[in-house]
């Protein structure tokens, strides 16, 4: 963005700190630690500090993926230590998910900002409908598919999650629970999915945005390191507040609340492309 002033940097720091506070509370409240919360908040903040509309969504997605790298690794190691991860499923994803991420990176490098917002909005609506209309007995099958079907599903999860800047938890949780897996196992395994998505996705975001003009202070490609450095500690600090709020609500209330949140995000993004 050319020469930056102290006031511009201070404004960016304050805006990102505020984003971290909001994202941390929402992450704790809804149990979502990835881009489903971060991307829409980043989109607003980068607009406030003057990032061009054509770059805001790409920067939001790339920065979100960078933040997911350490948080997903930490979460995966914790879940694996408790024996909660389906390692067989995760091993079968090792090539499938990065394949989807690679394809998404190629799309990411050429898609417009409005196109990215439409992708995020459409998937947000589908996720919101799933949460609001959810029934405990919904099942597609008694066990997970195998072979080429599983590879294809893994690639789709990697592809869509990368374009949204999320760790894949929402999509993988839905996949596993629809095939009769317990939600706790799905959540634990999704932490590993987040590792498989975020590392190549983060690298791809740097590549896709390399040399772009108009990016804010301390950006490498479509990753803003100031946001990464601020958001991780702030979200970890305030997430327990969201958790305490969540314990005051029933599971069904949380599902509906997060579903409504996704609808609001979708409406905001659809409005932005009109």
Summarised one tens digit per residue, pLDDT across range 148-175 is 999 999 999 999 999 999 888 888 888 9
Q: Is residue 261 part of a domain?
A: yes
Q: What is the pLDDT of residues 65-111, one digit of tens each?
A: 998 888 788 778 888 888 888 999 999 999 999 999 999 999 999 99
Q: Is 49 helix (H, G, I), strand (E, B) or coil?
A: coil
Q: Is residue 1 part of a domain?
A: no
Q: What is the pLDDT of residue 60?
A: 94
Neighbouring C-beta atoms of residue 1, cutoff 10 Å:
15
Q: Is residue 46 part of a domain?
A: yes
Q: How confident is the model at residue 34 (pLDDT cuts 50, 70, 90)?
A: low
User: Does pLDDT of 1 surpass 50?
Assistant: no
N- to C-terminal Cα separation, the chain: 27
Q: How many domains does the chain have?
A: 1
φ, ψ of residue 93 to 5 degrees: the values are -90, -10
Q: Is residue 167 part of a domain?
A: yes
- In the 8-state DSSP scheme, what is residue 146? -
Where would I find the H helices in the chain? 6-30, 35-48, 53-81, 87-92, 96-110, 113-132, 147-164, 169-178, 183-208, 225-246, 251-272
User: Does pLDDT of 3 surpass 60?
Assistant: no
Q: Is residue 120 part of a domain?
A: yes
CA-CA-CA-CA dihedral for 42, 43, 44, 50, to nearest 10: 100
**C-alpha angle 239-205-162 in degrees, rounded to nearest 5:** 65
Q: Is residue 59 part of a domain?
A: yes
d(CA 59, CA 75): 24
d(CA 6, CA 54): 25
- In the 8-state DSSP scheme, what is residue 82? T
Residue 132's nearest CA partner among 32, 37, 264, 259 is: 259
Q: What is the pLDDT of residues 107-122, one digit of tens each?
A: 999 999 999 999 999 9
User: Does pLDDT of 20 surpass 70?
Assistant: yes
Mean pLDDT of 46-59: 90
pTM for the model stands at: 0.84
φ, ψ of residue 223 to 5 degrees: the values are -125, 125
25: its two tokens:
């509370």
Query: Count of alpha carbons within 13 Å of 33, Cβ hemisphere only?
Result: 28
Mean pLDDT of 164-189: 85
For residue 193, with 0-12 CB atoms within 10 Å meaning exposed, 13-18 middle and 19 or more buried, which class applies?
A: buried
Domain residues for the domain of 160 are 6-272
- In the 8-state DSSP scheme, what is residue 140? S
d(CA 98, CA 93): 8
Q: How confident is the model at residue 4 (pLDDT cuts 50, 70, 90)?
A: low
């Amino acid at each position: 963005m050319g020469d930056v002033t102290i006031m511009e940097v201070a404004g960016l720091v304050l805006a990102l700190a505020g984003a971290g506070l909001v994202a941390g509370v929402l992450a704790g409240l809804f149990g979502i630690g990835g881009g489903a919360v971060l991307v829409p908040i980043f989109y607003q903040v980068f607009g406030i500090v003057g990032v061009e509309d054509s770059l805001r969504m790409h920067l939001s997605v790339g920065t979100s993926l960078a933040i997911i790298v350490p948080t997903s690794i930490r979460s995966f190691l914790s879940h694996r230590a408790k024996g909660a991860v389906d390692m067989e499923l995760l091993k079968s994803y090792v090539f499938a998910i990065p394949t989807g991420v690679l394809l998404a990176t190629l799309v990411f490098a050429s898609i417009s900002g409005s196109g990215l917002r439409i992708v995020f909005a459409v998937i947000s609506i589908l996720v919101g409908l799933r949460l609001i209309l959810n029934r405990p007995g919904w099942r597609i099958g008694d066990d997970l598919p195998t072979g080429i079907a599983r590879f294809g599903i893994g690639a789709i999860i990697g592809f869509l999650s990368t374009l949204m800047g999320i760790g894949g938890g929402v999509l993988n949780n839905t996949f596993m629970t629809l095939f009769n897996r317990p939600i706790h196992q799905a959540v634990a395994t999704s932490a590993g999915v987040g590792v498989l998505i975020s590392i190549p996705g983060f690298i791809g975001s740097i590549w896709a945005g390399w040399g772009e003009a108009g990016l804010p202070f301390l950006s490498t490609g479509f990753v803003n390191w100031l946001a990464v450095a601020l958001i991780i500690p702030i979200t970890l600090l305030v997430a327990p507040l969201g958790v305490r709020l969540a314990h005051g609500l029933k599971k069904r209330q949380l599902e509906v609340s997060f579903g409504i949140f996704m609808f609001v995000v979708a409406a905001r993004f659809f409005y932005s492309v009109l």
